[in-house]
Amino acid sequence: MDYASTSICGSSDDASEIGLENDVSLVCNLILGPSFCPPPPIPQVNNMDRLAQIMERLIVSTERHNKIDDRLYGDIDKVLQNMMFRFDGLVEMNRYIMNQLRSQSNRLNSLAGQLNTLVTHHFYDSMNDGQIDAESDD
């Protein structure tokens, strides 16, 4: 296996080993561009120089991941704000509906009271008319 196919380069096998979905890698590459592999080891370069190259590459990789995180957090923030806006709208709509229901309930209670009064008066009027008619028949 040559150096270019190791995990530093980020082959598709390595992505599955660390649990990355291929779609995530594609999206990250679309957003930030492709990630380039560090050069293969050169026998003339000592290990400290090679370590410095790898550390520089790690710093660049960390910066790229931080950019991805920032964008993801920004998107998550937008989604949460949208959800809160919609939730607030639902709460306001719920208050409006509850007020309408209370108002309608009060109107129905008032109408029921008026109907009860009319029926009661009509009943008493009918009874009084019946008594007057009964007395006049005598």
| Residue-wise pLDDT tens digits, 42-56 | 666 677 777 887 788
3-state secondary structure of 62: helix
Strand, coil or helix: 138: coil
Distance CA 135, CA 138 (A): 5
* pLDDT for res 97: 95
CA 71 remoteness from chain centre:
17
Q: Does residue 125 register a pLDDT over 80?
A: yes
Distance CA 61, CA 37 (A): 10
Higher pLDDT, 119 or 39: 119
What single letter denotes the amino acid at residue 113? G
pLDDT(9) > 50? no
Distance CA(62)–CA(32), nearest Å, equals 12
Residue with tokens 């991941």: 65
